[in-house]
Amino acid sequence: MRIVVSKYDSDKRYHPRLPDENVPVKASRNAEQEQTIEYWRNQAKATVEQHVKRTENTNIAKNVIMFLGDGMSIATVALARIHAGGEETPLSFEEFPYIGMAKTYCVDYQVPDSACTATAYLTGVKGNMDTIGVNAQVKVRDCEAGRNRSLHTTSIGQWAIDAGKDSGIVTTTRVTHASPAGIYAHTAYRDWEDDFYVKEDGCDPELVDDIAEQLVYGETAPKLRVILGGGRREFMDKDIHEDYETGKGGYRSDGRHLINEWLRNGPVGENRTFVWKRSDLLAVDPHRTDRLLGMFEPGHCAYNLDKVDNNLDEEPTLSEMVDKATDILSTNPNGFFLFVEGGRIDHGHHDNQARYAIDETVEFAKAIELARNKFSEEDTLIVVTSDHSHSVSFAGYPNRGNDVFGTAGNGRDGVPYMTISYANGPGYKKHIDADAGARLDVRQMDRSKSNFAFPAMLPKDSETHGGEDVAVYASGPWSHLFVGSYEQNVLPHMMAYASCIGNGLKACKP
C-alpha cells in the first residue's frame, strides 16, 4: 500500500511545533519595543539612513591592520555574538561599514588548511595544501622544489618594509605556525617548524631551512619590528637547553638556541628585546626598543578560559599584545602593517570544544575594538577575516536568549539535542553509545567545563575544516573595495592598493 503524505503533513515536519515552546523567552534589552511595529520600522529606517550617508574614504592608508580569526566561520561569529551580548548585539567588527566574501579553496583541495590560505591572503598567490610562501608548482614535502627561490612568493609584510614602513606579527599560536609563517616563511611543508621534523621527512636540514630558522635568518622575518605569540620549543634543542618557565627541553636536534641567535643577529647598536612573561611585555618601552620578540608559551598560547580558570597572570591577552605591538609600530612616521591572528578559535573547533572556540572569538573581537578605537579611520585600514570555515553547526529551534551552549529541543528519540554540533570530530564518541547505537542523554553530562566536547555526526580524531566562503569586514581608507565575492588571494592586493605599497596597482598612482 502506498502512503501519501499531504502537503500539510510535510510542512508540519519542516516547521514543527517545538517541544519547549512553553518555556519563557529570556527578555532582550529591547523586549517591550520589539513587540511593536514601530520599533522594527524605525530600526530599519535608521540602518538605511546610515548606509545612504556612507561616504567612500579614498585617503592613502598610513597603517593597515589585518585581523585573522583562524577557523572563524559565519556560524562561529553568530554564536560568539549571542554569547557575548545577545542576538541583537553585534561584535565590534560586525559594525564595520563594508563586508565581502572570500573563496578559500587551495589549488589542489576544495577544503583548505591554514597554510595554503595564509599564502593566499598574505602573499596574493594561491598554493597547495600544507605549503607556505610558495606557488602551486611546489608539492607538499618536496624538499628541492621548496628551495627554488623562483617559486617563492613575497608577503604584504615585506611589501610594507620595502616601502619604508614597519611590519609585525601578533598571534595566539606558535609564531612558527602556519598563519603567522605566511608573513615570512617559504616551505614545502607547514610542519617543518624545526630541524627535527625536516629530517623526519627525509630532507637535509643543512639545505632546507626550517621555519624557526627562517624567522631568525630569512629575508623578511629579521626585519619585522614586532613578533608576539607562543612557540619557544621550536627554537631550543631538546637535550641541551631548558625552557625559561618549564625547564623542559625544546624540539630542535641541532644544538642551537635560536632565541639567543635572534638577539645577536641585529646590527651593532640595535636594541633587540626578548620577553616571555606578561609583566616584561607591559614594561617594554616602545621608544627604546628597535625589535621585540615575545613568546609566552613553549607551544601555543593558553586558551583565554584556561588563563582565567588557572590564574595564568603572566600570559598576556590578545588585546594586550596588540596594544604593545601597535605602540612600537606607531613610532615609524611612515606607518605600518600588522598581522594579528586569533589562532585558537581553530583549535577549539578541531576538538569539538565550542566553549573555547567561541570565547576566543569574543577575545578576538575585543582586540579589534581596541585597535579601531586606538587609530583613526581616516588613515588606518582594518580588515577582519578568516582563513577557512569549520564543520560547526548552529541549528535547531532554541528560544530567543537561550544559552548557545545549551539544548535546543528533543530529537525523535526523545533525547535532547544541543544547539551546537559538528559534522565530525572526537565529540562523536562522547555522545554516542556505540554498542546500543543510540545517543547519550546530555542532561547526564557535566556541560559546564570549558573543555566539554560537543556532539559530532561521525567519529574523527580531529574535526575538519569547512569549505564555504568566509566573511571579510573592512573599515578605513578604501574599505569599500572589500565588498562582493572574490578569491582569497585578492585581499593583500586590495590592502596594498589602499596603502600604496607593493608592485601592483596603487591608490597613489592610478
| DSSP 8-state assignment for residue 170 | E
- 175 and 146 in one domain? yes
Nearest residue to 347 via CA among 120, 177, 105, 103: 177
pLDDT at 15: 54
- 450 and 340 in one domain? no
- Is the separation of the CB atoms in 390 and 466 below 8 Å? yes
Pull the grid cell for residue 401.
536568549
User: Which range marks the domain in which residue 349 is found?
Assistant: 63-391+469-499
- 426 and 348 in one domain? no
- 239 and 152 in one domain? yes
- 115 and 94 in one domain? yes
Please report, for residues 161, 162, 232, the alpha-carbon distance to residue 334 in angstroms, rounded to integers and kept in the order given.
10, 12, 31
pLDDT at 12: 57
Looking at the domain assignment, is residue 108 inside a domain? Answer: yes
Answer yes or no: is 346 a known binding residue.
yes
Looking at the domain assignment, is residue 26 inside a domain? Answer: no
- 411 and 366 in one domain? no
How far is the C-alpha of 152 from the C-alpha of 173, rounded, in Å? 24
Helices (H) and strands (E) in the chain, counts: 17, 19
With a cut of 70, which residues of the chain have pLDDT below it? Answer: 1-28, 510
Looking at the domain assignment, is residue 91 inside a domain? Answer: yes
- pTM score of the predicted model: 0.95
Pull the grid cell for residue 88.
541583537
- Is the separation of the CB atoms in 488 and 120 below 8 Å? yes
The pLDDT tens digits of the residues spanning 130-157 come to 999 999 999 999 999 999 999 999 999 9
Nearest residue to 93 via CA among 122, 114, 72, 112: 72
- Is the separation of the CB atoms in 257 and 322 below 8 Å? no
Looking at the domain assignment, is residue 83 inside a domain? Answer: yes
497: number of Cβ within 10 Å:
21
Answer yes or no: is 186 a known binding residue.
no
Looking at the domain assignment, is residue 40 inside a domain? Answer: no
Answer yes or no: is 177 a known binding residue.
yes
Answer yes or no: is 433 a known binding residue.
no
Please report, for residues 24, 413, 428, 431, the alpha-carbon distance to residue 436 in angstroms, rounded to integers and kept in the order given.
35, 13, 14, 12
- 225 and 326 in one domain? yes
- 270 and 366 in one domain? yes
How far is the C-alpha of 167 from the C-alpha of 279, rounded, in Å? 23
How far is the C-alpha of 181 from the C-alpha of 178, rounded, in Å? 5
How far is the C-alpha of 152 from the C-alpha of 181, rounded, in Å? 13
DSSP result, 173-187 = EETTSHHHHTTT--B
Q: Count how many domains the chain has.
A: 2
pLDDT at 21: 46
> 377: domain CATH number?
3.40.720.10
The pLDDT tens digits of the residues spanning 79-111 come to 999 999 999 999 999 999 999 999 999 999 999
- 248 and 386 in one domain? yes
Please return the burial class of 269, using the count of CB atoms within 10 Å of its CB with bins 0-12, 13-18 and 19+. exposed
How far is the C-alpha of 263 from the C-alpha of 277, rounded, in Å? 17
pLDDT at 5: 52
Looking at the domain assignment, is residue 24 inside a domain? Answer: no
How far is the C-alpha of 240 from the C-alpha of 237, rounded, in Å? 6
Answer yes or no: is 465 a known binding residue.
yes
- 68 and 212 in one domain? yes
pLDDT at 1: 47
Residue type, 375: F
88: number of Cβ within 10 Å:
13
Look at the block and give the residue holding cell 553509545: 433
Looking at the domain assignment, is residue 22 inside a domain? Answer: no
Answer yes or no: is 51 a known binding residue.
no
470: number of Cβ within 10 Å:
26
pLDDT at 27: 61
Answer yes or no: is 341 a known binding residue.
yes
- Is the separation of the CB atoms in 103 and 488 below 8 Å? yes
Check if 114 is active-site: yes
How far is the C-alpha of 137 from the C-alpha of 149, rounded, in Å? 12
Query: What is the enclosing helix (H) or strand (E) of 281?
Result: helix 278-283
- Is the separation of the CB atoms in 132 and 119 below 8 Å? yes
- 452 and 383 in one domain? no
Strands 416-418 and 166-174: unpaired
From the candidates 114, 253, 421, 499, which is the catalytic residue? 114
Pull the grid cell for residue 28.
532582550
Looking at the domain assignment, is residue 109 inside a domain? Answer: yes
- 442 and 384 in one domain? no
